[in-house]
Amino acid sequence: MPYSGYQDYFDRKLIISVATTGGHHGKEANPNLPLEPEEIARDVRDCEAAGASIVHIHARTDDGETTKDLERYQAIRDAIDEYCDDILVNFTTGGGGIYSREERIAPILETEPRPDMATVDIGPMNFGQTRTAINPREQNEEYADQMREAGVKPELEIFNPGHIPEMQHLIDEDLLDAPYWCTLILGMQTGTPAHPRNLINLVDNLPDPVEWQALAVGRHQLPLTTMAITLGGHVRVGMEDNIYYRKNELAESNAQLVRRTARIAEELERPIASPTEAREMLGIE
């Protein structure tokens, strides 16, 4: 059955996710991008106050390099627990083409408390000139199974339409619990081109029962996340995906991007979901 969430648009609470840091650009791109655990946590606190109910976490070393170091992830989680109220914590399993399968999921399984959710890159993607993240079906099955055992909600990252059948495969194999949670990603290198028609096409092919959010990189973030709000979906914003507030103006903080999203949602009559409401919507205890 195709997705039908826009039929109850005015009754659907909007989940705002924020991706504060990412694994690519750093302070050389925007000095306001947070990197150290306490810096990230302070930023997340402001994002939660602005309306975000989920934070997507990447860890970096002190010199800004991406890392899967368990102590670093634990330090970020501990700092978020200290600074924030109840925001849902979402760890990445990204890093294909750099880290092993085991290294990528280790922070999800070996930090305490475990994150509320974690990403699963559902299919292959190219990065730059030489790196390819393969993300085979076997790995997806393994990650989904391990996350269920750990009590962590999978967030399926859909980079192009060919990844939707891979999502359906996990459903058919009874490896996902409804409602399914996925992110539609537009504007990446070998992903779906950032165009309104393409977002609609992705949404129309999603299986029910699903809750979905959209993200778009760079200058596409604002128009396509606004479109996602009008379609009854949810949104992800933040400096992992876009370092600018407007053309030629760097974002002052991730919270600045969250506040703008919340203002737009208010104008479009979409109420903002609290972390407690987001947990209920996504079936997270």
In a domain, residue 1? The reply is no
Phi, psi of 60 (to 5 degrees): -130, 155
- Domain containing 108 equals 7-282
Query: Rounded to whole angstroms, how far apart are CA atoms 185 and 179?
Result: 19
pLDDT of 4 reads 56
Domain containing residue 274: CATH number? 3.20.20.70
- Region class of 151: left (phi > 0), else alpha (psi between -120 and 50), else beta: left
Q: What's the whole-model pTM score? A: 0.96
pLDDT of 56 reads 98
In a domain, residue 2? The reply is no
Residue with tokens 């973030």: 221
Query: Rounded to whole angstroms, how far apart are CA atoms 202 and 2?
Result: 10
pLDDT of 114 reads 97
In a domain, residue 41? The reply is yes
In a domain, residue 58? The reply is yes
Collapsing DSSP to helix, strand or coil, 118 comes out as: strand
pLDDT of 285 reads 86
pLDDT of 1 reads 43
Helix (H) or strand (E) holding 250: strand 249-250
Residue 7, CA atoms < 13 Å, CB-side half-sphere:
5
pLDDT digits (tens, 9 = 90+) for 119-140: 999 999 999 899 999 999 999 9
Segment 30-43 mean pLDDT: 98
Total of domains in the chain: 1
